[in-house]
Amino acid sequence: MKISQKFENLILKQLESFGCSMGVTHLVIYLAIAKHGTKATFEIIGQWPQVDRLLISIDDDPTLKVSEPTRRWYPLQENDILLGVLRVETNFKDGNWPLNLDSRLKALSISLANCVSIEMERQTSNEEINYLKNQVSIVIHQLRNPLAAIRTYAKLLINRLGSDNDSIEIVESMMVEQNQINQYVNSFEKLNVPIKLPLDIGEERLLLPPNLDNEKIITVQTLLLPILERGKANAKLDKRTWTQPSFWPDWTLKAIESKYGVIAEIVANVLENAFKYAKKDAEIGIVFTAKGLFIFDDGKKIIKNEKDKIFQKGFRGEASKNKEGTGVGLFLARKLAKQIGGDLKLLDTFSANDVDEIHTIKKKNIFYLELPIAQLHE
């Protein structure tokens, strides 16, 4: 174990705080060190007072192997593992140590053992983090070439397709998705530089491209268009009916702050659930309202006793049996909606109380994403 300066200073401060107490003249802490292929030894890492003496291991100091009434040893132990020892020298020639002193020294040894254990865990975690960062760098490097090649081949394919507009549209959609993946790769690259973690962001937070570029002007329309195109393509592949807005309300066309980029994540998560769990012939779609939007599917209705549970982290309902998933999508979607001052609900029917307007559409499952319209463009 490599001793950091901060850890060494912490140990010395603990020893110093105990010094000159009840006849104690010298405190020394040793760590158990086991190098590969050799037996464990005890190496000195700190002492009080800090005198000019050679810091050597117990094995190399023969005087320590002789019993002395003025000396005691206290183990630094975590469960059954011996991490080190604390050596205590006193001026008690007869070996009769006060019980109060012995109790305090035992407490000190427990505290020092905790410090050593925490430092070892910290160093192990840092090694794992550095290893993972190196692996991420390698993966990013390896991904860039095939991603660039996909775009090149797509352009060549467009040239060969000539006037086949329908096929060209499909290839162009592939290029949009390739660009999206490229942005994911760029986001991973940022993981290898020091970051300041944002407040109120849980471990489930997705690092999606809409949130990466704070300088880019975004609107709800620019956020949702790629998602709608993806939904349209999925519906076509599944041979299901897809409904999307032909008219975009004013609030979807005005510039919004980058923090509202999570709207794309919310919609994508709810739509993904609909495509994954609705039966193959069920219609799926989106309808705008004055204060947000509806995401619906006309598949099997979510049963009553699941309606209050579907937004819980890890919950998976009847429709998700025998299908891949983690039960995080709707939990994350509602969490993000609330973070930006909105909400995500599952409605039984469209009603004036829910959305301040009446819609006549009837579908089996209707999710209402309510947005803070007044604040979007401030």
Predicted confidence band at 324 (pLDDT cuts at 50, 70, 90)? low
For residue 247, count CB atoms less than 10 angstroms from its CB and return exposed for 0-12, middle for 13-18, buried for 19 or more: exposed
CA 17 to chain centre: 39
37 against 133, higher pLDDT: 133
For residue 177, being part of any structural domain is answered with no
Would you say residue 21 has pLDDT above 60? yes
Tell which of 93, 125, 157 closes a domain.
125
188 against 234, higher pLDDT: 234
Nearest Cα to 115, choosing from 30, 1, 10, 15? 10
Of the candidate ranges 105-114, 129-138, 148-157, 312-321, the one whose mean pLDDT is the lowest? 312-321
Q: Average pLDDT, stretch 224-234?
A: 86
Contacts of 367 (CB under 8 A, 6+ apart): 270, 294, 295, 296, 344, 345, 346, 347
| pLDDT at position 217 | 79
Tell which of 125, 143, 165 closes a domain.
125
For residue 146, being part of any structural domain is answered with no
| pLDDT at position 221 | 93
For residue 354, being part of any structural domain is answered with yes
Q: How many domains does the chain have?
A: 2
Beta-carbon neighbour count of residue 112 at 10 Å? 23
Average pLDDT, the chain: 80
Tell which of 125, 160, 179 closes a domain.
125
User: Tell me, what CATH number does 70's domain have?
Assistant: 3.30.450.40
Q: Average pLDDT, stretch 95-109?
A: 88
Would you say residue 197 has pLDDT above 60? no
pTM exceeds 0.75 for this model: no
User: Tell me, what CATH number does 220's domain have?
Assistant: 3.30.565.10
Domain shared by 112 and 208, yes or no: no
Domain shared by 353 and 219, yes or no: yes
Q: Average pLDDT, stretch 233-262?
A: 88
Q: Residue 30 and residue 34: Cα distance in Å, rounded?
A: 13
For residue 140, being part of any structural domain is answered with no
List the domain range (segments joined by +) for residue 365: 197-376
For residue 346, being part of any structural domain is answered with yes
